[in-house]
Chain A
Amino acid sequence: MNAVNEPAVVAATAHETWHLRLYVAGQSPKSLHALVNLKSLCEKHLAGRYEIEIIDLVENPSLARTDDILAIPTLVRRLPVPLRKIIGDLSDTERVLVGLQIHPDCLS
Chain B
Amino acid sequence: MPRPPPTMRPLPLAAPRADGIDTGPVEMLAATNRADLHAATCSDALLRLAEAEDTLRAIRLGEVDALVVSDGESGQRVFTLSTADRPYRMFVENMRDGAATLSSGGLILYANSRLAEMLSCSRETIVGAALATFLATGAPIGSEEIRGPDGLGANIEFDLIDGNGAAVPVQVGSSPLVVDGEHLTCLTFTDLTALKAQDREIARLSQAQSERMADLQDAQVALTRQATHDALTGLPNRALLVDRIDQSLAHAKRSGRCTAVLFVDLDRFKQVNDTQGHAAGDSVLRQVADKLVAVLRPMDTVARIGGDEFVVLAPDVESQLQAVDIGARLVTELCHRSVGSQDGERVAASVGISVSIAGRGTSETLLKEADTAMYQAKSHGGGHAEVFDAALGRQVQERSIALRTLQSALDDDRIIVHYQPIIDLASGTVAGFEALARITEPDGSVTLPAAFVPSAEDNGLVVPLGAQVLHMACTEACRWQPADLPQRRLTVAVNLSSRQFQAGDLTSVVRTTLQRTGLHPSCLHLELTETAIIDLDADFLQQLGRIGELGVQIGLDDFGTGYASLTHLRRLPLTFVKIDQSFVQGLRTNPEDDRIVSAVVDLAANLGLRSIAEGVETSSQLDRLRTLGCDQAQGYLFSHPVAPTGIPAAIQHPPW
Q: Report which A residues bind B (CB closer than 8 A).
A: 2, 5, 8-9, 12, 25-26, 28-31, 57-58, 61-62, 64-65, 67-73, 81-85, 87-91
Contact = CB atoms under 8 A, between A and B. Distances in A.
Given A71-B66, A87-B63, A82 B78 contact: no
Given A25-B84, A71-B59, A30 B16 contact: no
Given A12-B20, A71-B67, A57 B55 contact: no
B449 interface: no
User: Helix, strand, loop or mixed for chain A's interface?
Assistant: loop
The 4 closest A-B pairs by CB, nearest first: A88-B63, A81-B22, A25-B66, A88-B58
Interface string B64-86: 11111000000111101001111
B13 A72 contact: no
A83 B80 CA distance: 26
Interface size class, chain B: 35 or more
A104 B51 CA distance: 25
Contact of A82 (B8, B22, B80): B22
5 contacts: A28-B66, A71-B67, A82-B22, A85-B13, A88-B54
A93 B34 CA distance: 41
User: Helix, strand, loop or mixed for chain B's interface?
Assistant: loop
B77 A85 contact: no
A71 B66 CA distance: 6
A50 to B, nearest CB: 18
B55 A71 contact: yes
A62 B77 CA distance: 8
Contact of B15 (A2, A12, A90): A2
A29 B16 contact: no
Given A57-B78, A64-B76, A65-B76, A83 B12 contact: yes
A5 B63 contact: no
Greatest chain B CB density within 10 A among A57, A61, A67 is at A61
Interface of B: 1, 4, 8, 11-16, 20-22, 51-52, 54-55, 57-59, 61-68, 75-78, 80, 83-87
A58 B67 CA distance: 11
Contacts of B11: 68
Contacts of A70: 1, 51-52, 55, 67-68
Contacts of B20: 5, 8-9, 12, 81
Nearest to B79: A25
Given A25-B84, A64-B76, A87-B55, 20 more contacts: A5-B16, A28-B84, A29-B87, A30-B65, A58-B78, A68-B8, A72-B64, A72-B65, A72-B66, A73-B63, A81-B20, A81-B22, A82-B15, A84-B13, A87-B54, A87-B63, A88-B54, A88-B57, A88-B61, A88-B64
